[in-house]
Amino acid sequence: MTDPLRAELDSDLTYFAFAASAATSSAPAAPTPSIAPGELPDILAGRYLIERLLGVGGMGAVYRARDLLREQFGDPEPFVALKTLSDEFAEYPDAHALLYSEFALTARLSHRHVVRLFGFDVDTASQRAFITLELLKGPTLDHLLAEHPQGLAGQALRDIAVPLLQAMEYSHSRGVIHGDIKPSNVILADDGLRLFDYGLGQPIDGLLANLPRLSRTRFKAWTTRYAAPELLEGAEPSAASDIYALGCLLFELASGQHPFRRLSAKQARAMALDKALRCPPTFPAHGWPALRAALAFDISERAASLHPLLDAFLRPAPSRLQRWLGRAR
């Protein structure tokens, strides 16, 4: 970026001011900004001013950015989250296509507990693709678990479990697999829980069949302690693998402990740790069979849907009389 532009960053720079300086169709050509391909500039697409880094994941980095166009029109909150691939992945020739796949999948979803995306764009000067999405404030579940090492109980557990299960059930109903459910991909925003980062997701049953997909032989970014056994053995993500990850997360939220000592499913299966599983004291007892089925190592024994788990939180436990009548029939 040229020195004059850098000097403007601390001023009242607007989208139109920057766009005007870049519109040179009738004027002599301006010097090309000295941005190396792949290098992240201070302003992307002449509109999004990068303010600070918010977080880095397996493939991408997320920044807080100011939307200069919205600011120009008087929006009092012109801030967005901006996701781009990390430097390592930005150099791949198919990097733009992979990021667009995440955008196309998540853009199909419109649910109050799924992150809301605004757009996909490519900054031509730096050749960096990026996604803009709502800027969320609040702790992620990994921070919450660190503050509650014994887990959550009662209403606190329900207030997280229900919207999380609803978000994932909705995603599956729309043909979208998340692919990387873990505590750091769930945030407790000011206006409610959000599930985010569908970067490892993919469509179900041929939906959006023309979208490029990650090569599982070249790239494995699963968080192993939440990855279903079949993923670790090379299978494609599926609704069943999402259910396994959610089972691990719900068990951890209820007990403060990962169900398999934070080991991978492959290690846990070799040690037969599933045989020692017991219902966490704060988890609804009548929902234990559903949670136990979600944690099955064998995909053929795993729960086929999230409805039984959701039902465990939405429906009260049967009374002693109801249980007795059920046995008497």
| Number of domains into which the chain is organized | 2
Q: In the prediction, which pLDDT does 50 show?
A: 97
pLDDT at 254 over 70: yes
Identify the CATH number of the domain in which residue 276 sits: 1.10.510.10
- How far is 28 from 38, CA to CA, in rounded Å? 27
Same domain, 102 and 153: no
229 inside domain: yes
The phi, psi pair for 278, rounded to 5°, reads -135, 150
pLDDT score of 42? 96
Going by their DSSP bridges, the two strands 117-123 and 128-133 should be labelled as antiparallel
pLDDT exceeds 60 at position 298:
yes
Question: Pick from 133, 165, 184: which residue ends a domain?
Answer: 133
Same domain? For 170 and 301 the reply is yes
Query: Which of 111, 88, 121 lies closest to 176, judged by CA?
Result: 111
Average confidence (pLDDT) over 76-103: 86
Using alpha carbons, select from 143, 149, 168, 180 the residue that is nearest to residue 254: 149
Q: 145 and 128, same structural domain? A: no
Mention every residue, 6+ apart, whose C-beta is less than 8 A from residue 316: none
Same domain, 301 and 175: yes
**Looking at per-residue confidence, does 280 or 13 come out higher?**
280
Q: What is the token pair recorded at 231?
A: 């993923």
Asked, for residue 52, whether it belongs to a domain, the answer is yes
- Mapped onto helix, strand or coil, the DSSP state of residue 225 is helix
108 & 180 share domain: no
Tens digits of per-residue pLDDT, 158-190? 999 999 999 999 999 999 999 999 999 999 999
Range of the domain at 122: 34-133
Burial (0-12, 13-18, 19+ Cβ within 10 Å), 139: middle
**Confidence tier at 279 by pLDDT (50, 70, 90):** very high
How far apart are the C-alpha atoms of 281 and 157, rounded to whole Å?
12
50, 65 contact by CB (below 8 A): yes
- For the ranges 45-54, 197-206, 228-237, the lowest mean pLDDT is seen at 197-206
Check residue 173 and give its pLDDT. 94
Q: What is the pTM of this model?
A: 0.84
Euclidean distance between CA atoms 89 and 94, whole angstroms: 9
Supply the pLDDT for residue 117. Answer: 97
First to last CA, the chain: 77
For residue 255, is pLDDT > 90? yes
- pLDDT given at position 214: 61
Q: 16 lies in a domain? A: no
| Angle at alpha carbon of residue 110, lines to 108 and 114, rounded to 5° | 100
- Show which residues are catalytic: 180
Q: Do 125 and 171 belong together in one domain?
A: no
Same domain membership, residue 163 and residue 106: no
Residues 115 and 246 in one domain: no
Annotated binding site for ATP: 83
Q: Is the dihedral of CA 300, 301, 306, 311 positive or negative?
A: positive
